[in-house]
Amino acid sequence: MARQLSGRLVLATHNKGKLREMQALLAPFHIEVLSAGELNLPEPPETGTTYIENARIKAMSAVHETGLPALADDSGMDVAALDGAPGVYSADWAGEPRDWDVAMGRVETQLRQIGALAGSPPRASFHSTLILRWPDQHEEIFEGRVDGTLVFPKRGDRGFGYDPIFVPDGQGLTFAEMAPEVKNAVPEDDSLPISHRARAFVQLRAACLWTKKP
């Protein structure tokens, strides 16, 4: 059963791109947002094999460290011609420290090796799983997905991760060519947002019955 959330909330991420997007989505509401980075929280090993498992690991760690409700995101890009890879391992393809040019180059190389760049643009989807967890172990799960195609070479410098090679269906720009306020806009009507993370957030907002600041 969904609960109303008020007061302080920890965003359980050290990814600066995700943090910017999540802070922007939460900004209109009566929530005091703290980040894992500013609280110097440890980054737990993401040992799960699904988006839900990894989001839960991050949320549980943040709750344990702070005693506050925590919101965690696990996301990635699934490429149809690569049998869903990189998927839950999307960040791992970027190495350590993260180099997203390496990750995007690996996607392109593997698609080229199987001849998937010779015809129609390869199909792909972005996924975002949000888990909102309370100190008493109650949790809510929200999932967003957006389908699209891949383009090479990469285009745009406004996004992060695989954004420069992903064009969502119905759009002519990559995520990295879009202004953030366009990519993550939450419509006032019942139409879907463009981004996967905003689509998951719309579900979270409805479940928590948040009210906007005056």
Residue 14 in tokens: 């050290």
pLDDT over 70, % of the chain: 94
Per the domain annotation, does 187 fall within a domain? yes
Per the domain annotation, does 79 fall within a domain? yes
Per the domain annotation, does 1 fall within a domain? no
pLDDT at res. 2: 59
The CATH number of whichever domain residue 33 belongs to comes to 3.90.950.10
More reliable by pLDDT, 40 or 19: 40
pTM metric for this prediction? 0.90
| Residue 190: active-site member | no
Catalytic annotation, pick one of 74, 83, 92, 99: 74
- pLDDT per residue over 54-74, tens digit each? 999 999 999 999 999 999 999
Per the domain annotation, does 214 fall within a domain? no
SS (H, E, C) 166-193: EEECCCCCCHHHCCHHHHCCCCCCCCCC
Per the domain annotation, does 2 fall within a domain? no
Mean pLDDT of 171-197: 91
Mean pLDDT of 179-186: 90
Among the residue ranges 12-26, 44-58, 102-116, 124-138, the one predicted with the least confidence is 12-26
CA pair distance 147, 199, nearest whole angstrom = 12
- pLDDT per residue over 197-210, tens digit each? 999 988 888 887 56
Range of the domain at 43: 7-208
pLDDT at residue 214 greater than cutoff 70: no
Non-local CB neighbours of 143 within 8 Å, separated by 6+ positions: 51, 52, 127, 128, 129, 130, 200, 203
pLDDT at res. 190: 77
Mean pLDDT of 153-157: 96
Number of domains in the chain: 1
pLDDT level of residue 23 (50, 70, 90 thresholds): confident
H-helix or E-strand containing 119? none
Per the domain annotation, does 213 fall within a domain? no
More reliable by pLDDT, 191 or 108: 108
pLDDT at residue 6 greater than cutoff 60: yes
pLDDT at res. 26: 83
Q: Computed from CA positions of residues 112, 116, 120, 124, in that sequence, does the dihedral angle turn out positive or negative? A: negative
More reliable by pLDDT, 155 or 29: 155
pLDDT at residue 106 greater than cutoff 90: yes
